Structure formats: structure tokens, C-alpha cells
Amino acid sequence: MNATFFETRSAEAAAYGGLVDAIGGIATAVLAIVALTGFDPRALAGVATIVFGAALLIQGGTLLSEYSSLVLPSGANASSAATESLAGDGLSAMLIVGVAGVALGVLALLGIESTVLTASAVIAFGGALVVSASSASHLYQLQTAMRRGSATQSGYELLAGQMAAGSGGVQLLTGLTAIVLGILAVSGVYSDALTLAALLVLGIAVIMTGSTLSGMVRSFVRPT
């Protein structure tokens, strides 16, 4: 009873984390769109960088908490598999880049090489998304193997698996796009516009991945 209650509460907390992450993506996209209209683009780019850095932190922390909830109650074999997956997914990169992005955004708002710092943050954000693109898919596979065993999957879980696989592809393409746009922005080619465009793309990607994470986790607490 207690184990089931703990698992349910942990999954619900992770689902809310995914929802908050999606809200951060919406805020980033809105700020980028407003800035692209010409309203104080450099200041809004700094704010959007801070917001996206925080969203990346939330996403990394949510995934990490879900991995931990699978590792802690399980045996040595399951723990080893989860640890290997965790190391390969680059969750530590998401957390580090999230903190760095917030710091760079703050410095940009203070007027310290704002164009270069926000463009650099965009490159780092893109790299973090690329190295962690398979995080949701690996988490889904672990959840399925450790919670359901060989039992037949429910419709909710099958849908969650498709969502996880699709979000990984979107995250990979978005990360590569952000890296390219960030490099062009650092080189001085339409720096402000390209940085804001990259932040818009990143925000949209996080909306999708955050919603996917929330739906995927909730699929494992639905009655089957």
C-alpha cells in the first residue's frame, strides 16, 4: 500500500513537473515573438534565456526524479540499467546548461555583451537538447520493463510510447537547429533576430517535450 502510494505520488509530481516545463516553453516562445516584433529585443532575449534555462532545469530535474523513483525500489540489475541509461541521456548536461543559461541571461540583462551571451546560451541549450534527446524514450522503456514486466500494455502506455519516441526526434532536430542559428548569431549575421528565432524554436520544442513527459508519466498511474 505504502509503496503504491509513493509511486503514485512520485508520478503525479513528475507529471506536474512536465506541465510546469511546458509552461516555461510557452513563456519563452511568447517572449521571443514579442521581441521579434521589435519591442526591446535584447532585454526580452535575456529574459527568455533565463526562462528557458529554468525550464531546462525543471525538465532535467523531473526526468532525474523519475529515474530515481525507478532505481531506489529496485534490485541491482534494474539499478545498473537505469544508471547506464541516466549517464547516456545527458541529464547532467541539462542541469548544468540550465544553470549556465540562467546565469548568462542575467548577465545579458545587465548589459554585458548581451548579444554574444544570449547567442552562446542558445548554442548550449541546443547541445543539451541533442545529448538528452533519448531521455524520455529511455525513461518510458524503463517504466515499462520495471512496472509492467511482460504484461500486455494498455492503450495509454502504447500512446505514451509513441509520444516519447516522437518527442525525441523533435528534440534532436530542434537542438541541431538552435546550434546552427546560435553559431550564425555569434558570427554577427543578424544576431538578435537569429537568437530570438532560436529561442522561439526551443520554446516550442519544450512545450512539446514537457507535455509529452507529463502525459507519459500519467499513463503509468491510470487504472488498467
pLDDT tens digits, 30-44: 999 999 998 989 999
Q: Give the pLDDT of residue 182.
A: 95
What is the rounded average pLDDT of the residues 72-99? 62
pLDDT at 221: 47
The answer to whether 134 and 63 are in contact (CB under 8 A) is: no
- Asked whether residue 15 is assigned to any structural domain, the reply reads yes
Name the nearest CA neighbour of 135 among 171, 108, 183.
171
Sequence-ordered list of residues with C-beta below 8 angstroms from that of 16, at least 6 positions apart, any chain: 214
Per-residue pLDDT reduced to its tens digit, 12-62: 555 555 677 788 889 999 999 999 998 989 999 999 999 999 988 888 887
The total of structural domains in the chain comes to 1
- Span 197-218, pLDDT tens digits: 999 999 988 887 766 655 555 5
Q: Is the pLDDT of residue 73 over 80?
A: no
pLDDT at residue 213 in the model: 59
List Cβ neighbours of 215 (8 Å cut-off, separation of 6 or more).
15, 18, 159, 160, 163
What is the predicted pLDDT for the residue at 74? 47
The grid cell for 116 is 554574444
User: Does some domain include residue 58?
Assistant: yes
**Cα separation, 40 vs 164, whole angstroms:** 37
Does 138 have pLDDT greater than 70?
no
**Percent of the chain at pLDDT exceeding 90:** 35
Binned at pLDDT 50, 70 and 90, residue 78 comes out as: very low
Provide the pLDDT for residue 171: 83
Provide the residue range defining the domain that includes 54: 2-219
Top pLDDT among 82 and 119 is at 119
Report if residue 224 sits inside a domain: no
Quick one: what percent of the chain has pLDDT higher than 70? 61
Residue 174 pLDDT exceeds 60: yes
Asked whether residue 205 is domain-assigned, the answer is: yes
Q: How much is the pTM?
A: 0.76
Residue 91 confidence class, pLDDT cut points 50, 70, 90 = confident
Residue 129 lies in a domain: yes
Any domain includes 194: yes
Q: State the cell numbers at 15.
A: 507529471
Residue 160 vs residue 109, higher pLDDT: 109
Whether 150 is covered by a domain: the verdict is yes
Highest mean pLDDT among 47-51, 67-71, 89-93, 168-172: 47-51
Residue 179 lies in a domain: yes
The three-state (H, E, C) secondary structure of the chain, written as one string: CHHHHHHHHHHHHHHHHHHHHHHHHHHHHHHHHHHHCCCCHHHHHHHHHHHHHHHHHHHHHHHHHHHHHHHCCCCHHHHHHHHHHHHHCCHHHHHHHHHHHHHHHHHHHCCCCHHHHHHHHHHHHHHHHHHCCCHHHHHHHHHHHHHHCCCCCCHHHHHHHHHHHHHHHHHHHHHHHHHHHHHHHHCCCCHHHHHHHHHHHHHHHHHHHHHHHHHHHHHCCCCC
pLDDT at position 71 over 60: no
